[in-house]
Amino acid sequence: MQAAIRLSRRALTRKQGGPFGAVIVREGRIIARGWNQVIGTHDPTAHAEVVAIREACRKLRQFHLDDCVIYSSCEPCPMCLSAIYWARLGRVYYAATRSDAARIGFQDRTLYREIQLSPTRRQIPFHTLLREDARQVMQKWTEMEDHVEY
């Protein structure tokens, strides 16, 4: 956890994004590091946890991290939480809470609320187009004998 917090401090000095850091550990060794780089990369998905997950997957050449643990300087936002589940990390440790982040202006509350709403009731308009065309492609994927499940 100390390494994750050190990375959050580094983020402050580099002025690339918010004060957040994360490390991924496998077999007691740090294999990936990430800090918030949203501003520096112009990438709203460049949160500390996502950056660390990308690095770990690239290094291990796999997309599941079930034998790894992530340490984050703050409770993961909804996007990072989703990435953690997609990567199937084995465990999550965090320092500051989402309430602590909200006190300094990081409002994840809206995202948590929006996720629960029907797409037609969200703040950003969502519309379905060409559903049947997309479903046909999905069906073909399930019929492929060599498709990779994830």
Any idea which residues carry the catalytic annotation? 49
Check if the beta carbon of residue 44 is closer than 8 Å to that of residue 79. no
Task: Record the tokens describing residue 139, joined without a space.
Answer: 């069906």
- What is the Cα–Cα distance from 105 to 20, expressed in whole angstroms? 13
Neighbour-count burial for 25-56, b at 16+ CB within 10 Å, e otherwise: bbeeeebbbbbbbbeeeeeeebbbbbbbbbbb
- What is the Cα–Cα distance from 68 to 115, expressed in whole angstroms? 27
- What is the Cα–Cα distance from 17 to 39, expressed in whole angstroms? 5
- Among 1, 41, 45, 40, CA closest to 21: 1
